[in-house]
A and B are shown apart, each in its own frame.
Chain A
Amino acid sequence: MTTNAKPKFAMYWAASCGGCEIAVLNTHEKILDVDANFDVAFWPVAMDAKYKDVEAMEDGSILLTLFNGSIRNDENEHIAKLLRQKSKLLVAFGSCACEGCIPGLANLSPVGDIVHTAFNTITTDNPHEIYPRTSFDVPEGELHIPTLAPILRPLEQVVDVDYYMPGCPPESHQIAAVIDLVIKVVKGEAELPPKGAVIGAGDSTVCDECPRARNVKLIKQFTRIQDIAPIDPSLCILEQGIPCNGPATRSGCNARCPQAGAQCIGCYGPAEGVLDYGARLVTAFASVIDAQEPEEIDRILDGIPDPTGQVYRFNLAGSLMKANANAFKVKG
């Protein structure tokens, strides 16, 4: 049997930080399993990335594409559509592709503000208000750079997605488990999960895998970690008054941050069955507040200095609100 008979695998990064790729590399020997069982057709970080070759491939000829990063500009969008066309199974890999991640917070501002801020910082020498231009004439010819989109979008807002693998980045042991599963599927030893499933994660919440003790204790005020650190090592962080995102966040990381004395910041996205991450989290916070009077409740809630960022930190671009989505005229 030639290597051509093996199913094709691809991995790609759009607007991302590179952490997803590092997480995959950190599976160490699993990479060799991928190599043994797949024909790696396209993986910029690990091999020759034959972009032109991808264009030349038959539609659907790549069995599995792990797509990390979000859609920030027209170039990201173009490649997302190309890989969708060429792939049987397209996985939104990591928080950026699943829900927009931290860079999705950019959707709270018009894109013009973002560029204006970056090019008018305290150290920027820009008296003539020069900004990057997608097309610019230099004496020798014309130069081009991609156009920033009005909003940042997760993958599913641009193309159809088969599976979602959350995490910022996905934990390496979860990646290894998914690689094992896909290899079994290829060998006919296992079935694929239903389309649209979340893979490489748990189906409960971070709280459910957190070893900290919950005593159904109510709080009189929210506090900030620097004001009470180091926190009690064995007690629920939310019950110590620190807004912890565990109650709304999908399990799968082994409650890594709470175990290190820090609050969950929500990088695994909405837990199973949660329609809107922020709404669920607000409910969870409300449930620990020890007050009846509206004024008192308001005072306690004021202890959360950035409610929007707190409850949509990783999820803003993928939330029900889909901030500024109307700014986009997305065709069907």
Chain B
Amino acid sequence: MTQRISIDPITRLEGHGKIEIFLDDKGEVANSYFQIPELRGFERFVVGRPIEEMPLLTNRICGVCPEAHHMAAAKATDAVYHVDPPRTAKMLRELLYSAFYCTDHTTHFYALGGPDFVMGPDAPVAERNILGVIHKVGLEIGGKVIQMRKYGHTVVEMIGGRKIHPCTSIPGGITKGITEEQRKEIEEMGRWAIGFAQFSLQVFNDIVLGNKGYVDLILGSVYTHRTYYMGLVDENNKVNFYDGKVRVVDPNGKEFVKYAPHEYMNHIAEHVEPWTYLKFPYLKNVGWKGFVDGEKSGIYMATPLSRLNASDGMATPLAQAEYEKFYATLGGKPVHQRLATHWARLIELLYAAERWLELVTDPEITSPNIHTKPTQVPTEGIGIVEAPRGTLTHHYWTDERGVVTRANLIVGTTNNYAPIQMSTHKAATSLIHNGQVTEGLLNMVEMAFRAYDPCFGCATHSLPGQMPLQVTIHDSAGKPIEVLKQYC
């Protein structure tokens, strides 16, 4: 007799993601399915639109990370016209992007993922939120978090024209530069951001690393998968968010492949299942072997943790020191424990803040040379950036007028769909025995995918990481016999 458990985040996401768990007649987990019930079809309706509109239209895939789509699309439009934007234009785009990263990673750590650690996974539900963090760490932290978000959005607006859905990146560069006055303001905010990132790492150090229970939780097997790891790297194999090559390391940490954006389709394929609207990307040259980890399975991960695993370090000094401490503490590379992603995210926050300062203090950042006029016939182009939630690929084909004839998008969270399915399955399997479902299951499963910071706004529509669950246990006739609820 099969029992059925629906973990349906319908209360927060209203059907934008749900997990179905089936038990066998012994009450053990027979199988589980993480379903994505939504499709908007951007790849179809961008066809027929002018290529320069891609950075504007694809913003609307996700209002949480529109900057990532704006940048990937803009780089793809450069490639379509075979044009290389001036150095200043590229720096301005990356500066905007670095400020955005600071805002985004801050939101995730303090409001979404971090509370599990700062408050502890066993803390009462009512305390595992940003207010609980403020009470524990001190009132001033709330003000700092708001300040960081405001500063990030201010820079996005100064360079991108708007706080949400920026509008200034075009084929060949950017529509407006910054003045010396603005530059000074951005520099001041950047210096503050570095201090904020260091403060955040200190919070993590004191509260999480200082607590053996938390460290054991991070290192525990429930949240561990040995997969491939993906991340964008610069010419020195250091983490880069805006530009470079995509590097993939195998579960032993050895480089498996390093590819340029235009080669992505030789390396990535997407698997289809009929029970969900989202596809499962995997490494083509390893192959799809089902929802299993290990060297023989093409499943890979693309998150802050995977970017650290896939690189040889960080390109800025303070972040590099944290990178070294990270691997020294967790026992070397690669780190397979998914919960370490939260720590990795803070190291990236520090890198983004340092990079922000580097860029804004470059003597050429206020140069008026911000656009290269395209002169070649537009054809086909691919743009790749690291979205906070994973490697983001935009690929467009156009006719000779630069009107899109075909498109392919592989977005951040989608990369992690198979790992998320595996992680939630493993958490469920570890916790459900003899048909007994404990309240603890809820948070344990929730933590399993919150580590990925899933943004189904990209895949569908939700905000990242916020997945309160409703578990409904059905008897064999499909009748609900018990309902458990939990919210962030």
Chain A residues in the interface with B (C-beta under 8 A): 12-23, 26, 28, 44-45, 47-52, 69, 72-73, 75, 79, 101-103, 105-106, 108-109, 113-115, 117-119, 121-126, 130-133, 136, 138-141, 143, 145-146, 148, 168-169, 172, 224-231, 233, 256-257, 259-262, 265, 267, 305-306, 308-309, 313
Partner among A131, A139, A168, A305 whose Cβ is within 8 Å of the Cβ of B402: A305
Residue of A nearest to B18 (CB): A145
Q: Is the CB of A75 within 8 A of B15?
A: yes
How long is the Cα–Cα vector from A133 to B51 in the complex, in angstroms? 32
Judged by a CB distance under 8 angstroms, whether B204 is at the interface is: no
B60 within 8 A of A: yes
Whether, in the assembled complex, B410 has its beta carbon less than 8 Å from a beta carbon of chain A, the answer is: yes
- Chain A contacts for B146, CB-based, 8 A: 28
Docked pose: A51 CA to B281 CA in angstroms:
33
Known: A119-B272, A260-B176, A261-B176. A125 touches B288 (CB 8 A): yes
Selected from B265, B274, B284, the residue in CB contact (under 8 A) with A132 is B274
Contacts of B402 in A (CB 8 A): 224, 305
A-B contact count (CB 8 A): 261
Chain A residues with CB below 8 A from B403, complex form: 305-306
Note all chain B residues with C-beta closer than 8 A to A14: 14
Q: A22-B164, A130-B274, A262-B168 are in contact. Are A108 and B35 (CB under 8 A)?
A: no
Given A118-B43, A145-B36, A305-B50, 7 new contacts (CB under 8 A): A28-B146, A51-B11, A123-B408, A227-B373, A230-B176, A260-B160, A260-B175
- A49 touching B272 by the CB < 8 A rule? no
For residue B271, which residues in chain A have a CB less than 8 angstroms away from its CB?
125
- Nearest chain-B residue to A308 (Cβ)? B48
Proximity string of chain B (250-283) to chain A, C-beta cutoff 8 Å, 1 when within and 0 when not: 0000000000000011001111111111010100
| Max chain A C-beta neighbours (<10 A), residue from B56, B63, B370, B407 | B63
State in angstroms the CA–CA spacing of A48 and B66 once bound together.
26
A132 CA to B459 CA in the complex, in Å?
15
Chain A residues with Cβ below 8 Å from B47 are 117
The reply to whether A138 and B270 contact each other, CB–CB distance below 8 Å, is no
In the complex, what's the smallest C-beta–C-beta distance from A41 to chain B, in angstroms?
13
Chain A residues near B39 (CB-CB < 8 A): 114-115, 118, 132, 148
Q: How far is the CB of B368 from chain A (nearest CB, A)?
A: 8
Known: A118-B39, A260-B161. A145 touches B408 (CB 8 A): no
Nearest B residue to A54 by beta-carbon distance?
Answer: B11
Closest 3 CB pairs of A and B: A19-B63, A260-B161, A261-B175
Chain A residues, CB < 8 A from B315: none
Q: Which residues of A contact B264 (CB under 8 A)?
A: 123
B385 to chain A, nearest CB (A): 17
| Stretch from B180-188, B241-249, B416-424, B460-468 at the A interface | B460-468
CB distance from B30 to the nearest CB of A (A): 5
- B395 surroundings in chain A (CB, below 8 A): 122
B434 beta carbon closer than 8 Å to chain A: no
CA distance A290 to B60 in the complex (A): 35
- The residue in chain A whose Cβ has the minimal distance to the Cβ of B20 is A143
Contact in complex: B175, A231 (CB < 8 Å): yes
Pair B12/A113 contact, Cβ less than 8 Å: no
Most interface-central of B160, B279, B461 (chain A CB within 10 A): B461
Q: Are B175 and A262 in contact (CB under 8 A)?
A: yes
